């Protein structure tokens, strides 16, 4: 892997974001670019790929260290705590540059990501506390006490490892179930619900489901009015959900 500077990375990201915007507004047609015009574009993409690969080793190191912190909760609850990692795909990085054209590529905090699914919110909170005490944490977001407008809940830590930022997500089982369902619907229906696209009825249903799962985790019983509203929202959203496609299969 080539060594690339932050300046090179940011300049490449800025040029690629500008090109993507031109493709979207129709002022540039990629099929009409000459070989000579493609050369700097491919050079920028290679810089992006080198920067992406720069996160691979720190990602593995962060994963190994995180497992040390979550192991006691796995043993205590006699369950295997799920830990997964991924490097964001080049196409996904480009999509994010298109959505956030003024964001420096080196500031993208989730090129390398790790997700741990823990047995309870108390376990997630304790792991987060220990990480904040012992790791170099650049940013901490508590989407449990202050969930996203979509209803998404989790704890996010942006940690600095070997000179790059790695995103660590801590979720409970039900928080992970909710997020995976949104991604499943997005994938099946080719609608980016996660980013706010799609029918309003679907987002209203997701929000209610997030509230219901929060109650379940806290061993709280939902009110009758809440359940009536949840079913109403489900009825409105059902035609736009992946589950409705499953029901149509023979």
Active site residues: 167
CA distance 198 to 189: 10
Contact 156, 141 (CB under 8 A): yes
Contact 173, 214 (CB under 8 A): no
Element (DSSP H or E) covering residue 120: none
Burial letters 81-117, b for 16+ CB under 10 A, else e:
bebebeebeeeebbebbeeeeebbbbebbbbbbbbbb
C-alpha closest to that of 120 among 84, 67, 151, 79: 79
The two most distant CA atoms of the chain are separated, in Å, by 66
Name the E strands within the chain: 82-87, 112-118, 137-142, 155-161, 164-172
Phi-psi sector, 75: left (phi>0), alpha (psi -120 to 50), beta: alpha
CA distance 70 to 75: 9
CA distance 158 to 166: 6
């Amino acid at each position: 892997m080539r060594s690339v500077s932050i300046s090179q990375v940011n300049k490449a990201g800025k040029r690629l974001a500008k090109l993507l915007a031109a493709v979207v507004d129709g002022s540039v047609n990629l099929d009409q670019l000459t070989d000579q015009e493609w050369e700097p574009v491919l050079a920028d993409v290679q810089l992006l790929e080198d920067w992406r690969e720069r996160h691979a080793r720190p990602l593995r190191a962060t994963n190994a260290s995180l497992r040390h912190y979550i192991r006691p909760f796995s043993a205590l609850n006699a369950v295997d705590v799920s830990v997964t990692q991924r490097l964001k795909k080049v196409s996904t990085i480009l999509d994010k540059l298109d959505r956030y054209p003024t964001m420096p590529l080196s500031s993208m905090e989730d090129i390398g990501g790790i997700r741990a699914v823990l047995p309870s919110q108390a376990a997630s909170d304790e792991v987060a506390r220990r990480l904040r005490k012992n790791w170099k944490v650049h940013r901490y977001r508590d989407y449990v006490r202050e969930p996203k407008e979509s209803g998404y809940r989790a704890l996010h830590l942006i940690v600095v490892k070997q000179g790059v930022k790695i995103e660590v997500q801590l979720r409970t089982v039900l928080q992970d179930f909710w997020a995976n369902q949104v991604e499943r619907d997005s994938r099946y229906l080719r609608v980016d619900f996660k980013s706010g696209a799609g029918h309003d009825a679907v987002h209203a249903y997701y929000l209610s489901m997030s509230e219901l799962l929060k109650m379940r985790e806290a061993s709280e019983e939902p009110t009758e009015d809440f359940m009536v509203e949840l079913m109403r929202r489900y009825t409105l959203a059902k035609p736009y959900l992946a589950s409705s496609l499953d029901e149509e299969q023979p």
